[in-house]
Amino acid sequence: METDVVKQENGQKLKEMEMKSNIALEEQKKTLIDIQVTNEKKEADVKEYVLNANLKPYKELDWKTLMAIGNNGNDAGNNIALAFRELAENADKIGNLNISPELLDSIVRSKK
């Protein structure tokens, strides 16, 4: 009978030790996760800073300049389209403008 009581006490002590061990392990996991989250937030902040620093010079530019930079001025068709759009935006300042198909063709060919 005494051995059964001792076995039960030992079993109880073993369960308590396992539980304490599990609690300690979970606390360590929680600490690890907290550290990982903090580090990931810091990394995200650094990436945001770098991205903003890289894009800041372009923030002030208008869309026409960005388009010209974007294709490095290599696409004559886009450049001509931008030029015509700007002409249209300033049409009230232009009295008379004649553009022949030959002129357009020579511009496009000289840019290629």
Q: Assess whether 3 and 56 both reside in one domain.
A: yes
| Residue type present at position 66 | L
C-beta of residue 54 within 8 angstroms of C-beta of residue 90: no
Buried b (16+ CB within 10 A) or exposed e, 16-40: eeeeeeeeeeeeeeeeeeeeeeeee
Supply the range of the domain harboring residue 1: 1-60
For the chain, what is the mean pLDDT? 86
If asked whether residues 67 and 23 sit together in one domain, one would say: no
CA distance 66 to 69: 5
Q: What is the pLDDT of residues 19-73, one digit of tens each?
A: 999 999 999 999 999 999 999 999 999 999 999 999 998 888 888 788 777 766 5
Helix, strand and coil percent figures for the chain, each rounded to 5: 85, 0, 15
> Are 48 and 90 in a shared domain?
no
Q: Is the pTM of this model over 0.85?
A: no
CA 72, CA 60: separation in Å to the nearest integer? 18
Residue 49 CA to residue 106 CA, distance in Å, equals 46
Q: How far apart are CA 83 and CA 89, in angstroms?
A: 10
Checking if the pLDDT of 112 tops 60, the result is no
User: Residues 86, 42: one domain?
Assistant: no
What is the structure's pLDDT at 38? 98
